C-alpha cells in the first residue's frame, strides 16, 4: 500500500485538494492507497473559498509518505522554511512530489523544479518563469511527468495527472474505472492552450478600426497591403506600428483571429471541418488541423468533442 499525503498550505485551493482526495482517498482505492491531509501544523487550514479545511497531521505526516501532493494556494509566496525543508526531505528519500495548479510555486521555492520542465495554470505561468528562471515552464500542457517530480496545469488538470498516476501504478483499466466514477474523461486530448482566449489587441484608434474591419472579413483573403491601405499608412509603417502597439505582426494577429473564429464555430455549430476552415479564412481542413495542432496540441474533432461533450469517432473530413 502507498501512503499519499496532501500538503494543504494556508489559503489552499479547496478544489485542488479535493482532486487527489477523490482519486487516492476514495473508499474503493483503500486497498492500494492510504490518504491523509497534512499542513504546516495540524488543525484548521484556511482556503481560498471562504471556509477552513481540517488537517489531521502536521509536517510529520510527510515523513513516511510515498507521494506528497501540493495543491494550489494563494498568494503564491514561498512557504515557510519548515515546509521547504519537509518537501526537500521527501524528495531526497525518493518520494514522488507532485503539484496541482499553483502548488508548483511551492515546489519551485524548494528548488525541486530547477532544471526541469514544469507547468502550472496558464494565467500564472509567466509569473512562475519570472520568479524561478531555473525552471523550464511550459504553459501549454495539462501535466508533466518528470519521473519523481510531477506538475499539473490549471485546476481540473490535476484530475488528468492523478489519473495518469493511477494508470502508471495500477493500469489503464483501473484509471478508466475511476474516471467513470468521477464522470470525467479518462484521457483528454491536447493541452491547456486550447482553453485560452486571446484578447483583442490594445491598438490605437486607427488600428482598432482596421482590426474591426478585418474581423468582419475573416473568410476573405486579406493582404497586409490591404490592411495598411485601410489604416491609411504604407505597408512598412503599418507593420511597424502594429507590432509596437499589439506585440505581434499583422499576419500572426490575423491568423490568431481566424483560429479563434474556427474555435467558436467548432464549439457552437455543426458545420463540417472543411466549412469551419473556409468560413474562418484558414482555407482547408488540413490547414485548420495544422494550426490547431500547433496552437492547442489537439485536432478539430477532439476540440469539438471536449467543448460539446460528443463521444464521436467520426472522421474529420466532411
Whether residue 42 sits in one domain with residue 178: yes
More confident residue, 18 or 309: 18
Residue 314 pLDDT grade (very low, low, confident, very high; cuts 50, 70, 90)? very low
Whether residue 134 sits in one domain with residue 99: yes
Write out pLDDT tens, residues 17-31: 999 999 999 999 999
Residue 316 pLDDT grade (very low, low, confident, very high; cuts 50, 70, 90)? very low
Tell me which residue range forms the domain holding 302. 205-308
Q: How far apart are CA 187 and CA 179, in angstroms?
A: 9
Closest CA to 68 of 46, 29, 39: 39
Whether residue 131 sits in one domain with residue 11: yes
More confident residue, 32 or 201: 32
Whether residue 210 sits in one domain with residue 187: no
β-pairing, 143-145 vs 149-152, is antiparallel
Please name the residues in contact with 130: beta carbons below 8 A apart, sequence gap of 6 or more: none
Whether residue 146 sits in one domain with residue 181: yes
Rg (CA), the chain: 23
Given a cut of 60, is residue 309 above it in pLDDT? Answer: no
More confident residue, 34 or 173: 34
Write out pLDDT tens, residues 203-232: 444 688 898 899 999 999 999 999 999 999
Whether residue 68 sits in one domain with residue 163: yes
Q: What is the pLDDT of residue 295?
A: 78
Write out pLDDT tens, residues 227-260: 999 999 999 999 998 888 777 889 988 998 899 8
Rounded to 5 degrees, what angle do the CA atoms 192, 12, 306 make? 25
Report the domain count for the chain: 2
Write out pLDDT tens, residues 59-110: 999 999 999 999 999 999 999 999 999 999 999 999 999 999 999 999 999 9
Please name the residues in contact with 252: beta carbons below 8 A apart, sequence gap of 6 or more: none
Question: Which triple of cell numbers denotes residue 251?
Answer: 499576419
Whether residue 47 sits in one domain with residue 160: yes
Please name the residues in contact with 133: beta carbons below 8 A apart, sequence gap of 6 or more: none
Stretch 154-165: mean pLDDT: 93
Q: What is the pLDDT of residue 196?
A: 62
Closest CA to 254 of 199, 289, 215: 215
Whether residue 213 sits in one domain with residue 178: no
Residue 270 pLDDT grade (very low, low, confident, very high; cuts 50, 70, 90)? very high
Q: Is residue 313 part of a domain?
A: no
Q: Is residue 186 part of a domain?
A: yes
Residue 169 pLDDT grade (very low, low, confident, very high; cuts 50, 70, 90)? very high
Write out pLDDT tens, residues 176-202: 899 999 988 777 766 676 666 555 554
- Cβ proximity of 23 and 107 under 8 Å: no
Q: Is residue 317 part of a domain?
A: no
Q: Helix 273-280 crosses helix 250-268 at what angle (to 10 degrees)? A: 140
Given a cut of 70, is residue 315 above it in pLDDT? Answer: no
Q: What is the pLDDT of residue 194?
A: 61
Q: Is residue 316 part of a domain?
A: no
Quick count: other Cβ atoms within 10 Å of Cβ 134?
Answer: 11
Whether residue 142 sits in one domain with residue 8: yes
Write out pLDDT tens, residues 105-155: 999 999 999 999 999 999 999 999 999 999 999 988 899 999 999 999 988
- Structural domain ending residue among the three candidates 191, 221, 256: 191
Whether residue 267 sits in one domain with residue 138: no
Q: What is the pLDDT of residue 110?
A: 98
Closest CA to 117 of 130, 127, 104, 106: 104
Q: b/e map of 211-246 (b: 16 or more CB within 10 Å)?
A: beebeeebeeebebebbbebbebebeebbebbeeeb
Q: How far apart are CA 216 and CA 4, in angstroms?
A: 54
**Confidence (pTM):** 0.70
Q: How far apart are CA 86 and CA 242, in angstroms?
A: 50
Whether residue 218 sits in one domain with residue 187: no
Q: How far is CA 236 from the centre of its chain?
A: 37
Given a cut of 70, is residue 310 above it in pLDDT? Answer: no
Q: What is the pLDDT of residue 199?
A: 54
- Structural domain ending residue among the three candidates 191, 214, 246: 191
Q: What is the pLDDT of residue 256?
A: 87
- Structural domain ending residue among the three candidates 160, 191, 222: 191
More confident residue, 248 or 5: 5
Whether residue 279 sits in one domain with residue 186: no
Amino acid at each position: 500500500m502507498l501512503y499519499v499525503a496532501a500538503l494543504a498550505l494556508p489559503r489552499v485551493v479547496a478544489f485542488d485538494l479535493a482532486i487527489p482526495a477523490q482519486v487516492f482517498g476514495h473508499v474503493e482505492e483503500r486497498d492500494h492507497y492510504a490518504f491523509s491531509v497534512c499542513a504546516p501544523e495540524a488543525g484548521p487550514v484556511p482556503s481560498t473559498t471562504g471556509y477552513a479545511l481540517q488537517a489531521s497531521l502536521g509536517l510529520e505526516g510527510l515523513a513516511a509518505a510515498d507521494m506528497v501532493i501540493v495543491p494550489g494556494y494563494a498568494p503564491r509566496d514561498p512557504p515557510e522554511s519548515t515546509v521547504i525543508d519537509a518537501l526537500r526531505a521527501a524528495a531526497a528519500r525518493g518520494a514522488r512530489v507532485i503539484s496541482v495548479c499553483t502548488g508548483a510555486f511551492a515546489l519551485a521555492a524548494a528548488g525541486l523544479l530547477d532544471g526541469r520542465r514544469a507547468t502550472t495554470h496558464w494565467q500564472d505561468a509567466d509569473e512562475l518563469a519570472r520568479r524561478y528562471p531555473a525552471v523550464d515552464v511550459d504553459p501549454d500542457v495539462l501535466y508533466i511527468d518528470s519521473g519523481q517530480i510531477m506538475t499539473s496545469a490549471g485546476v481540473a488538470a490535476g484530475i488528468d495527472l492523478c489519473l495518469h498516476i493511477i494508470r502508471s501504478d495500477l493500469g489503464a483499466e483501473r484509471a478508466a474505472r475511476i474516471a467513470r466514477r468521477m464522470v470525467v474523461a479518462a484521457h483528454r486530448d491536447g493541452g491547456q492552450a486550447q482553453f485560452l482566449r486571446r484578447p483583442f489587441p490594445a491598438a490605437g484608434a486607427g488600428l482598432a478600426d482596421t482590426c474591426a474591419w478585418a474581423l468582419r472579413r475573416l473568410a476573405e483573403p486579406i493582404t497586409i497591403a490591404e490592411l495598411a491601405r485601410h489604416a491609411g499608412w504604407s505597408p512598412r509603417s503599418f507593420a511597424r506600428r502594429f507590432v509596437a502597439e499589439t506585440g505581434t505582426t499583422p499576419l500572426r494577429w490575423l491568423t490568431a483571429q481566424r483560429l479563434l473564429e474556427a474555435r467558436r464555430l467548432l464549439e457552437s455549430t455543426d458545420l463540417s471541418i472543411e466549412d469551419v476552415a473556409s468560413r474562418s479564412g484558414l482555407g482547408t481542413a488540413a490547414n485548420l488541423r495544422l494550426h490547431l495542432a500547433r496552437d492547442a496540441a489537439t485536432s478539430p474533432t477532439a476540440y469539438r468533442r471536449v467543448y460539446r461533450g460528443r463521444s464521436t469517432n467520426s472522421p474529420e473530413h466532411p
